[in-house]
Amino acid sequence: MRLLSAHITKFKSVTDSGEFTLNGDVTALVGKNESGKTAVLEALYRVDPLSSGHPTNFNELRDYPRRYRSRDKAAITSAKPVTVTFQLEQADIDAVTQDFGADALRADVVTVGRKYDAKWFYWESAISNPLGAARHLVTKAGLDVSRYADATTVEHLITALRADSEAEAAVQLANDLAERDLGADIRKVLRSRIPDFQYFDEYSVLPGEVSITRLQTIDEAELGPQERTALSLLKLAGVESAEFTADSYESRKAALEAAANELTDQLFDYWTQNPSLSVELDIEFRSKPNPQNPSVPLPDPWLHIRIKNAKHRVTLGMEGRSKGFIWFFSFLAAFSEYTSGTGRRRIILLDEPGLNLHAKAQADLLRYIEERLAPHHQVVYSTHSLFMIQPNKLEQCRTVEDVDNEGTKVSQDIWKARPETVFPLLGALGIDMTQTLIIGPNQLLVEGPADVVYLAVMSDVIRRAGGTPLDPRWTITPAGGLDKVPAFVSLMGGSELKVAVLMDVAAGGNQRIAQLASRGLLEDRRLVYLTEITGTAEADIEDLFDVAWYLKLLNASKVGRFAKSRLNGGGRIVKQVEALHGGRFDHFQPANHLMRSPGKLLDEIDEPTRMRFQALFNRLNGLL
Q: Which comes out higher in pLDDT, residue 516 or 361?
A: 361
Q: Is 376 exposed, middle or buried (0-12, 13-18, 19+ CB in 10 A)?
A: middle
Please name the residues in contact with 266: beta carbons below 8 A apart, sequence gap of 6 or more. 332, 336, 339, 372
Q: Distance (Å, rounded) from C-alpha 386 to C-alpha 425?
A: 6
Read off the pLDDT band of 540 (50, 70, 90).
very high
Q: What is the mean pLDDT of residues 267-287?
A: 82
- Average per-residue pLDDT in the chain? 86
DSSP, residue by residue, 204-273: GPPPSEEEHHHHHHS-GGGS-HHHHHHHHHHHHHT--GGGSSTT-HHHHHHHHHHHHHHHHHHHHHH--S
Measured over all CA atoms, what is the biggest interatomic distance in the chain, rounded to whole angstroms? Answer: 109
Q: Distance (Å, rounded) from C-alpha 501 to C-alpha 479?
A: 10
Residue 394 has pLDDT above 80, yes or no: yes
Q: Distance (Å, rounded) from C-alpha 183 to C-alpha 133?
A: 9
**Strand, coil or helix: 451:** helix
Read off the pLDDT band of 22 (50, 70, 90).
very high
Is residue 329 within 8 A of residue 229, CB to CB? The reply is no
**Strand, coil or helix: 301:** strand
- According to the model, what pLDDT value does residue 199 have? 92
Q: Residue ranges of the alpha helices (H) in 119-199? A: 130-140, 154-163, 168-178, 182-191
Paired sense of beta strands 378-383 and 442-446, if any? unpaired
Residue 496 has pLDDT above 70, yes or no: no
**Strand, coil or helix: 59:** coil
Dihedral, CA of residue 231, residue 233, residue 234 and residue 237, to nearest 10: 160
Is residue 33 within 8 A of residue 386, CB to CB? The reply is no
DSSP, residue by residue, 484-496: GHHHHHHHHTTSS
DSSP, residue by residue, 496-563: S-EEEEEE-B-TT--HHHHHHHHTTSS-GGGEEETHHHH-SSSB-GGGGS-HHHHHHHHHHTTS----
Report, in angstroms and rounded to the nearest whole number, the Rg of the chain calculated over CA atoms.
33
Read off the pLDDT band of 408 (50, 70, 90).
very high
Q: Distance (Å, rounded) from C-alpha 126 to C-alpha 270?
A: 44
**Position 395, amino acid:** E
Read off the pLDDT band of 445 (50, 70, 90).
confident
Q: Distance (Å, rounded) from C-alpha 70 to C-alpha 65?
A: 10
Residue 509 has pLDDT above 80, yes or no: no
Q: Distance (Å, rounded) from C-alpha 285 to C-alpha 301?
A: 4
Residues in the chain: 624
- Domain ranges in the chain are 204-322, 440-621
- According to the model, what pLDDT value does residue 433 have? 62
Least reliable range by pLDDT among 105-119, 438-452, 585-599 = 438-452
Q: What is the mean pLDDT of residues 489-514?
A: 68
**Strand, coil or helix: 111:** strand
Residue 16 has pLDDT above 90, yes or no: yes
Residue 58 has pLDDT above 90, yes or no: yes
Q: Distance (Å, rounded) from C-alpha 357 to C-alpha 365?
A: 9
Q: Distance (Å, rounded) from C-alpha 187 to C-alpha 183?
A: 6
- According to the model, what pLDDT value does residue 107 have? 93
Strands of the sheet with 527-529, listed across from one edge: 475-478, 442-446, 498-503, 527-529
Q: Which comes out higher in pLDDT, residue 485 or 83?
A: 83
- According to the model, what pLDDT value does residue 281 have? 83
- According to the model, what pLDDT value does residue 515 have? 67
- According to the model, what pLDDT value does residue 104 have? 94
**Position 162, amino acid:** R
Neighbours of 244 (CB within 10 A): 20
- According to the model, what pLDDT value does residue 179 have? 92
What is the percent of the chain where pLDDT is above 90?
42
Q: Distance (Å, rounded) from C-alpha 352 to C-alpha 362?
A: 11
Residue 149 has pLDDT above 70, yes or no: yes
Out of 477-481, 484-488, 587-591, the most confident range is: 587-591
Out of 223-237, 472-486, 550-564, the most confident range is: 550-564
pLDDT in tens, 299-341: 888 888 888 888 888 888 877 888 888 888 888 888 876 776 6
Q: What is the mean pLDDT of residues 593-603?
A: 89
Q: What is the mean pLDDT of residues 31-56?
A: 91
Q: What is the mean pLDDT of residues 262-281?
A: 81
- According to the model, what pLDDT value does residue 435 have? 58
Q: Which comes out higher in pLDDT, residue 343 or 146?
A: 146
281-289 contact pairs (CB < 8 A, 24+): 281/233, 281/237, 281/256, 281/257, 281/305, 281/306, 282/256, 282/306, 283/212, 283/244, 283/252, 283/256, 284/209, 285/246, 288/213
Q: Distance (Å, rounded) from C-alpha 54 to C-alpha 7?
A: 21
Neighbours of 90 (CB within 10 A): 8
Backbone angles phi and psi of 67, in degrees to 5: -70, -15
Backbone angles phi and psi of 212, in degrees to 5: -70, -35
- According to the model, what pLDDT value does residue 105 have? 95
Residue 297 has pLDDT above 90, yes or no: no
Q: Distance (Å, rounded) from C-alpha 92 to C-alpha 573?
A: 63
Q: Distance (Å, rounded) from C-alpha 278 to C-alpha 552?
A: 67
331 sits in which H/E element = helix 323-335
**Strand, coil or helix: 93:** helix
Residue 241 has pLDDT above 80, yes or no: no
- According to the model, what pLDDT value does residue 27 have? 96
Paired sense of beta strands 498-503 and 527-529, if any? parallel
- According to the model, what pLDDT value does residue 106 have? 93
Q: Is 401 exposed, middle or buried (0-12, 13-18, 19+ CB in 10 A)?
A: buried
- According to the model, what pLDDT value does residue 344 have? 77
